Amino acid sequence: MSEATTPKEQTPKEHQQTPLDAATDRPGSPVPATSKPASGGNGLALLALLIAAAGAGAGGWGLWQLHELDAREQQQLSQVQAARSDAQRLQLAGNELKGRLDQLPSVDELESRRRLLAQLQGDQQLLNQRLESVLGASRQDWRLAEAEHLLRLASLRLSALQDINSATALVQAADDILHEQDDPAAFAAREQLAKSLEALRSTLNPDRTGLFLKLGALREQVVQLNAQAPIFSGEDGVLSELASEGSAEPTWWQRGLQTLSEYFRIDFNADQNIRPLLAGQSLTQVRLALSLALEQAQWGALNGQTEVFRQALQQAREVLDAHFDVDNPNTRALRARIDELATQPVGVTPPDLSPALNAVQAYLQAKQAARSQQKVEAEPAAADDIEAQLQEAPQ
């Protein structure tokens, strides 16, 4: 190598001089300012660090790749296991489906079941039609039976109680039921019902309830009746003698004679009836007899028994005239009231409802006969419809 080359023109290889070259240098040549051995050591160290870092990075990347590969293997393993599980389930499902397919009926069985289903549908349709007809007929029959029962009840009320108002309401209700039917065949029955209604409305309807209550009020007045003691007067009487004397204070014998005169009487003209005085138990018995007569009149008025009503009031009048003073205001008022109530009518002549009842019964029987005929005619037609449906069913 030449000594004339400068340090700038030397390559890195030229900086690395061998010991032989260093020994051949001339002594006394100038030494460069930069130490060549120190610069070469730093470069090697840096290079070694770079190589070590690259190796560490390569090792870390390799480890990371190994970890990723392991994770992928685990994921693939789980996927494989899931796929195996799915395959097993699919196999089980396939086996089950195959078993079910083996259990499916044949073509002949399907055809027989189809025909059976069509027959069942036809039977159900026929049953629905019959049910609708039966329900509709049942409602009409119930209403017509109710009308017949109302007429029977009205006839019973007339015969037993002579209750015109109740009978009129019952017959009107029966006519309303026939009106709801809207059937021209019910014309004859409604005609008889109209005649019965007019007969009931034109019949005399006495107020038997009011008459019963009035007689009850008279029974309460009987308790208030009291027999009056007769006071005798005359020119020969003791009281006339005492009055003529003009004594302001009668003596003891005069007072005693006056007291006895209220209980004893000497009448020389005994051509008239003398009524005994009523007191104590006798008065109670007479009041009871009068009250019982009025109670019997109440029963006759409430039940429309004219004869019983008249006889009971006549008996009450006789008891009142025989045992009570007719000049007493209470007795006179009670007698006048009894005479007034005796003229009130209590009995009625109810009309006959049997024609209306017979007409309704005839209409009901005609409806039932017509409905039975319709059922007999409808059954063959329904059977033909079912057979046609079976023939038209798809094969």
CATH of the domain at 139: 1.20.120
Looking at the domain assignment, is residue 330 inside a domain? yes
Same domain, 360 and 312: no
Question: Which contacts of 173-180 are long-range, i.e. CB under 8 A and separated by 24 or more positions?
Answer: 173/147, 174/147, 174/148, 174/150, 174/356, 174/360, 177/143, 177/144, 177/146, 177/147, 177/150, 178/144, 178/147, 178/360, 178/363, 180/143
Same domain, 339 and 382: no
Same domain, 323 and 374: no
Same domain, 298 and 388: no
pLDDT at 31: 45
pLDDT at 119: 77
Distances (CA, A) of 340 to 102, 214, 220, 275, 343: 105, 11, 17, 27, 6
Looking at the domain assignment, is residue 285 inside a domain? yes
Same domain, 188 and 303: no
Same domain, 221 and 304: yes
pLDDT at 175: 93
**384, two tokens:** 């033909």
Same domain, 369 and 381: yes
Confirm if 154 and 166 have CB atoms less than 8 A apart.
yes
Condensed to tens digits (0 to 9), the pLDDT of residues 383-392 reads: 555 555 555 5
Looking at the domain assignment, is residue 46 inside a domain? no
Rounded CA separation 118/110 (Å): 12
Residues of the chain falling short of pLDDT 50: 1-36, 228-244, 246-247, 394-395
Looking at the domain assignment, is residue 374 inside a domain? yes
Same domain, 199 and 218: no
Rounded CA separation 138/173 (Å): 19
Q: What domain count does the chain have?
A: 2
Question: pTM of the prediction?
Answer: 0.47
Rounded CA separation 255/70 (Å): 154
Name the residue with tokens 């104590």: 280
Q: What are phi and psi of 101, to 5 degrees?
A: -60, -35
Same domain, 216 and 299: yes
Condensed to tens digits (0 to 9), the pLDDT of residues 52-106 reads: 888 888 888 888 888 888 888 888 888 888 888 888 888 888 888 777 767 776 7
Domain that holds residue 372: 121-204+355-392
Closest alpha carbon to 304 in 200, 208, 167: 208
pLDDT at 395: 45
Rounded CA separation 224/331 (Å): 10
Rounded CA separation 178/188 (Å): 11
Looking at the domain assignment, is residue 233 inside a domain? no
